[in-house]
């Protein structure tokens, strides 16, 4: 069954396999090793680190005023965003859900949805739901009206807010 030739072939195969792994390891070490002891030749990128105590200046992207974005808002895109709101609000006048109905919300006096029990935070607000007020409320309801019962986390994108308000203005 096992003769000398078979044992020799098996031992030779093992030696060749070990030699291949040894050479592959040596080649990989040569290709991927970043330890260079030559100071004139540096691998990688140099990153400028500010001196201690220096404050790095970060350029803030200029924010486009909401009025400009609202002027070119797309009500069709706002209709898709409305789906998030429809879980708690309705567009039919007088049909309150978890939140008040939003039919005619744009430029409607605040806390004027008939039959809805507003939180004290919104009852303390004066004025109308202008597009600007709606945008500020949608951006961060808890900051706009601290203590509001609305559990929505807010809509960061100014274009999304403008599109949604444009859609609501058509209702």
What average pLDDT does the chain have? 84
* pLDDT band, residue 43 (cuts 50/70/90): low
* pLDDT band, residue 15 (cuts 50/70/90): very high
Q: Residue 138 pLDDT more than 70?
A: yes
* pLDDT band, residue 55 (cuts 50/70/90): low
* pLDDT band, residue 17 (cuts 50/70/90): very high
Q: Is pTM, for the whole model, over 0.85?
A: no
DSSP code at position 88: T
Under 8 Å between Cβ of 73 and 162: yes
| pLDDT tens digit sequence for 72-123 | 888 888 888 888 888 888 888 888 888 888 888 889 898 888 888 888 888 8
For residues 130-166, one letter each, b for 16 or more C-beta atoms within 10 angstroms of the residue's C-beta and e for the rest, the string is ebebbbbbbbebeebbeebebebeebeebbbbbbbbb
Pairwise CA distance, residues 123 & 121, whole Å: 6
Q: What is the pLDDT of residue 71?
A: 85
Under 8 Å between Cβ of 125 and 148: no
């Amino acid at each position: 069954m096992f003769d000398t030739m078979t044992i020799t072939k098996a031992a030779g195969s093992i030696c060749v396999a070990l030699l291949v792994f040894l050479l592959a390891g040596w080649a990989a070490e040569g290709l991927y090793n970043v330890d260079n002891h030559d100071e004139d030749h540096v691998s990688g990128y140099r990153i400028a680190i500010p001196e201690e105590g220096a404050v790095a200046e970060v350029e803030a992207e200029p924010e486009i005023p909401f009025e400009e974005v609202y002027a070119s808002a797309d009500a069709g895109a706002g209709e898709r965003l409305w789906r998030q709101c429809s879980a708690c609000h309705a567009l039919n006048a007088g049909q309150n859900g978890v939140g008040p109905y939003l039919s005619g919300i744009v430029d409607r006096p605040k806390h004027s949805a008939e039959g809805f029990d507003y939180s004290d935070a919104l009852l303390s607000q004066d004025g109308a739901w202008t597009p600007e007020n709606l945008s500020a409320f949608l951006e961060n309801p808890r900051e706009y009206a601290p203590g509001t019962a609305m559990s929505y986390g807010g809509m960061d994108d100014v274009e999304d807010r403008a599109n949604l308000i444009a859609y609501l203005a058509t209702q």
